[in-house]
Amino acid sequence: MRESVRISWSCVILHAVIINAVFAFNTAYAQYIQPDKNLEACQSSRIPCGGHTQASCSRYCVMVGYSSGFCDGSCCLCSNAPAAQIPTSINSQLGTGGSTTYINIGGLLVPMKQQGFASIMGGSLAQSYNLTIPTLATQYNHLKTPSISIPQTQIIGRDDIDNNDIIVSSSPGKEVCMSEACGSEAWNIKSQMDEKVDPCDDFHAFACGGFARNTRIEKDQTEVTQFTILRDKVASQLRVLFEENISPREAKPFALAKKMYKSCMNTGLIERLGFQPLKKVLKELGGWPVLLGNEWRSAPDSWQKWENLVVWFKELGLNLDYFMRISVEQDLQNVEKRYITIGEPALNINDEVMKRGLNEPVVNAYYKYMVEMAVQMGAGREQAKREMLDAANFEINMAKCFFRHAGTKSGNFYNPMTIKQMSIQYPSIPWLEFFQRIMPASLGITEKEIIMVSVPRYLDCFFELVAKTDPRTITNYGVWRVVSASVSYLHKSARSLQLEFMSTITGQKQMQPRWKECTTIVQTNLGNAAGAMYIRRYFNDKAKSDALEMVQDIRRAFLEILNENDWMDSYTKGMAREKAQEISVHIGYPEEHKSDAKIAALYAQFDFKENEYYGNILNLVSGAISSSFGSLRQPVKRSEWSTHGKNAVVNAFYLPLENSIQFPAAILQGHFFNASRPKYLNYASIGWVIGHEITHGFDDQGHQFDKLGNYKNWWAGSTKQTFDRKKQCIIDQYSSFKSHSTGLNLNGEKSQGENIADNGGIKQAYRGYEYWLARNGREKSLAGLNYSPKQLFWISAAQNWCTVQRDEILKHNILTGVHSPGEFRVRGTFANSEEFARDFQCQRGKRMNPVKKCSVW
């Protein structure tokens, strides 16, 4: 449903609105005049070219897609016509201009032959009217049209003549930025808002109501957010890179990325091969019992035991972690060393959902998926039902073995044992032989090797389960996990079954375009190669230096807030200060990504073929496992550059074992960052993200690690007790929030770390911006938005979390995720902020300014 408001425009119209209206309707000419006066009044105005120079008029016109622009008296006109056809004067009566008839609609001089306005306006050419203008964001799924209400403005002067900015004021003494960047930002912010909502009642609805109203989720999507919008842009950019031909002198990592992409896009071959590549692997595993029927046999000492399956998984380039997680990881208490670690595996469904059993709709859909896949691969339906039921119940019982501690103490997962001790504790497994078979022989594994057993209780439960389970069921489950992990790389009919099951979790209705799937595969598995390609083509280093300045301000803000708090003892506060100062920062990309040789060293063991997609995936997995296992004896380099090389990822990270924060190149654009716009928008958007990641170093888990990344208790007892009380306030606050579309309350315990980071991050970003103001002076506001720069800070920050989701994925995220839904990331965080309440003058007791507030950092 479209909504409209009455519009009153003055002689200097808001550039952002006019620009986007001209662009959206593809009109041929535009000018800036009073809607209630005729063309002669525009031409006789005392404001030359509507406030433009000839240069800025031309630049604006070219920016919105026209071939030229020119000043005609007080009007700035845009045209796609050749210069010879542009009227030299149109100061006659309204409605004529050369051989073309024009109509004046709200300050736009439109050729009558253009049908867009007349049909939308219903043929009415009244001087006072309702007008709805579509937003440029239609390319990002915004299909409805926001209403724009434009206040009366007055010219107060010109500033920054080199940039041709026009400064207007919507109230006495308030400067407004009219640069191209400001115009675009004003339009985007306005289009996402719903100003009918009281900002002191529901600020998320106020800031994002327009986004929710105007956004449609496509069938191949589960949600639309600022992150997904930007990820779509980055995917399109990567597609361009991956689809380019491989040159004879192409660096190996970039050639590998293109080969992987091309093999993924070779759908004709993939369809012809069907299940053949997978069945070849299953044959080497001894087959899938559900397919072989009575031909599959087992014996007590046969290689079909689960531990032997794991060895074969490793040999064939398959994931090892279907029965228990086996990896090489840093020692939590001494991050300069590595250990072999075993622990709980990753299941196909979140363990908390899985353990509910087949009465849970998602688990039941999973079982049906298992059956249909077995049938499609050749199993009889009744046999598939019986055997996959046993396999599903085995996985359900594995989920019941998962152990969840009350609290989040990393020390609960620190249980070193030698292989000799494991052999005594768990005698059913020949542990020494097992580790010698899966680890590189060069490591010389002996019974003295220390294994970090992260969850002993899982092993106890798992071995009890295995002891009472038929080997056929164990093998059916293990091979099923290989099958389910392979489906994404197979033909369409197999992937359709996968989508049908996943839709019960995500609500997604159809597959993504193939190019997008393939781009994701390459970006995910060849992150450094894709990242280097991306930054060399698309990244502006100005973003890197600007982001570093923000990090410095926001880190300073954290330190100042730390100094001001009155609940920490001096020792603990000093340790926290040292940790914050020690945080290493990775912005944009590592410098090594400018060197082909250094990137090539990461991919020396890989070799892909354009006609072997599934084989390329096995090559990738095998190489990754070999590299990880081979690092066991190697020294740990803190902040290894390759760890921070996935530059094309739209996200940000805090790594507790490094005490580092990372902001990849891909997130330093779009809604989150623009070097040309006012700094309050950058500090609000990417600045909040920066503060969020810094605060992760001091949240429910991060506070357990010291400045070097070691798990260490550096807290005085009384201060730790106060910390626990303060975070309990956050837990209780978010647990009280209820999602109306799902009827579920949030899990404040599970999401506490992210909520603490959100609350601390916005506070630091706001203060960081104040530091910038102290150095540089006040900034101009945005045209058409009758809000101060600090109010725009909060609006822009809230729009980080403008979100439209399918109910299925929202429910799943609430039940299993660690992040609160976007609505509550805004409502919860801003309700705790005294600065927000002050800037929006929210009375105490209003929903966005409650009497009781929670604060940790």
For the chain, the maximum distance between any two Cα atoms, rounded to a whole number of angstroms, is 100
Written as one letter, the residue type at 510 is Q
Q: Is 693 considered catalytic here?
A: yes
Helix/strand/coil for 70 = strand
- Alpha-carbon span 768 to 790, nearest angstrom: 12
DSSP tag of 106: T
**653: which strand partners?**
662
Task: Tell me the C-alpha to C-alpha distance, in Å, between residue 453 and each of 99, 397, 409, 422.
Answer: 84, 20, 15, 9
Query: 531 Cβ partners below 8 Å, 6+ apart?
Result: 589, 593, 645, 646, 647, 648, 649, 664, 665
Tokens of 826: 């805004």
Q: Which own/partner contact pairs does 607-613 have at CB distance under 8 Å and 24+ positions apart?
A: 607/256, 608/256, 608/259, 608/260, 608/263, 609/259, 609/263, 610/259, 610/262, 610/263, 610/266, 611/263, 611/266, 611/269, 612/263, 612/277, 613/263, 613/264, 613/266, 613/269, 613/270, 613/489
Structure token pair of residue 600? 């090539």
* Amino acid identity at 148: I
Strands (E) located in 692-818: 738-739, 744-745, 781-782, 803-805
Residue 12 CA to residue 19 CA, distance in Å, equals: 13
Give a three-class secondary structure readout of 692-709.
Answer: HHHHHCCCCCHHHECCCC
Residues 25 and 116: beta-carbon distance below 8 Å: yes
Say how far apart CA 90 and CA 88 lie, in whole Å.
7
End-to-end alpha-carbon separation of the chain, Å? 43
397 and 465 Cβ atoms separated by less than 8 Å: yes
> 477 near 394, Cβ under 8 Å?
yes
3-state secondary structure 148-161: CCCCCCEEEEEECC
Residue 841 phi/psi, 5° resolution? 50, 45
Q: Which one of the listed residues 331, 344, 387, 693 is annotated catalytic?
A: 693
Residue with tokens 């990881």: 329
Task: Report in angstroms the alpha-carbon separations of 784 from 59, 105, 335, 840.
Answer: 21, 19, 53, 18
Residue closest to 832 by CA, chosen among 739, 746, 745, 762: 762
Q: Could you confirm whether 3 is annotated as catalytic?
A: no
Q: Residue 429 has what DSSP assignment?
A: S
Looking up tokens 């070779």 gives: 266
Nearest to 786 by CA among 42, 232, 176, 299: 176
For 856, the 3-state DSSP assignment is coil
**Sequence-ordered strand ranges (E) for 188-324:** 223-225
Q: Which of 165, 553, 699, 758 is catalytic?
A: 758
User: Residues with catalytic annotation?
Assistant: 693, 758
